[in-house]
Amino acid sequence: MIVVVGEALIDLVISPGGDVETSLGGAPFNTARACGRLGAAVSFVGALSSDRFGRMLDAQLAADGVRTADASVVDEPTTLAAAELDDHGAASYRFYIAGTSAPALPDPPRVVGDVLFSGGLGLVLEPMAESVTSMVAAFDGAVMIDVNCRPRIVPDRERYLDRVGRVLSTTDIVKVSDDDLAYLEPDAEPLDAARSLLDRGPKVVLLTAGARGAHVLTVSGERFVPATVVDVVDTVGAGDSFGAGFLVAWTEGGAVESFDDLDRLTDASAFAARVAAVVCSRRGADPPWRSEVG
């Protein structure tokens, strides 16, 4: 079982011309959906509003095969994210958070699974961030974190960096983008910054750089994984789907707490790249079903 912890929200996708479409989103929500569509046993742990948007989020998770028994239903309205697309389909985000559902995750139940996945707003928004930190420390299994920095909503950079450091110290696999590293270590080259993360606890670092491919880094070696070439519609949900693709391939490929097989790590990352490419080829965070991944 893959346990995904974090936010579910509504994306307001704004085109370069100003047209607005609503879609279901949130990085962990997208990751859980992608895991379910790819055939994995997956559970979502997060706060879902009792409003109509919250019911839509819950229904979509169920439709994609995601277990929601450990999710919390709260009265706060659903959190909103404005995803502004540029002329190339790349998205930048602004969030509407105060008094909304996503941060309201209470102390969650002790969950059981093979892998725990979290990150993004789960490392920023209180009280959710402390719940995530506690869950990562207590989890009896492998842990994967997608740092997925959102600088615009970090109220205190030093406090945020301290929390990221504490979480990574008990993390097995960390996924970071070159943009994440530009915020975490602005004076270092991305590969050097990614290598330095191996000294902070993780056994595996997955460095993604969009169309420039990805790198798999361990203390015993490194591999490059090229991106799958597609005609990009937009990149909404691409990173989340990469993480899901890796998780599914990794959990299917053998023991989840064995991190020294570079061939296996590379194969899982190559599958992840193909999953992300499908998402980039269509509008919004619409992860593929297993049959759609080459």
CA atoms of 56 and 118, how far apart (whole Å): 22
* C-alpha to C-alpha distance for 57 and 242, rounded to whole angstroms: 21
Residues ≥6 apart with Cβ < 8 Å to 37: 64, 65, 287, 288, 289, 290
Q: Residue 197's domain spans which residues?
A: 2-288
- pLDDT of 112: 87
pLDDT digits (tens, 9 = 90+) for 7-38: 999 988 888 888 888 889 999 999 999 999 99
Cα–chain-centroid distance for residue 120? 7
b/e per residue 150-173 (b: at least 16 CB within 10 A): beebeeeeeebeebbebbbeebbb
What pLDDT does residue 108 have? 67
Taking the chain (294 residues) in runs of 10, the rounded mean pLDDT of each run is 96 88 92 98 97 97 96 95 82 87 83 93 92 92 96 92 96 97 95 96 96 95 94 90 97 87 96 96 91 90
* 117 lies in some domain: yes
pLDDT of residue 52: 96
Task: Give me the residue label for tokens 């994306």.
Answer: 11
Number of domains observed in the structure of the chain: 1
* Whole-angstrom distance, CA of residue 171 vs CA of residue 154: 21
Q: Report if residue 16 sits inside a domain.
A: yes
Q: Provide the pLDDT for residue 284.
A: 81
Whether residue 294 is contained in a domain is answered as no
Distance between CA atoms of residues 109 and 98, nearest Å: 24
- Report DSSP state, residue 220: T
Q: Which residues contact 164 (CB under 8 A, 6 or more apart)?
A: 123, 147, 184
pLDDT at residue 280, as a whole number: 94
Predicted pLDDT at 7: 95
Q: State the CATH number of the domain containing residue 232.
A: 3.40.1190.20
145-178 tens-digit pLDDT: 999 998 988 999 999 999 999 999 999 999 999 9
| Region of residue 210 (phi > 0: left; psi between -120 and 50: alpha; otherwise: beta) | left
CB 261 within 8 A of CB 255: no
CB-based contact 211:230 (threshold 8 Å): no
Question: Residue 22: what pLDDT?
Answer: 87
Indicate whether 293 belongs to any domain: no
Q: What is the pLDDT of residue 109?
A: 66
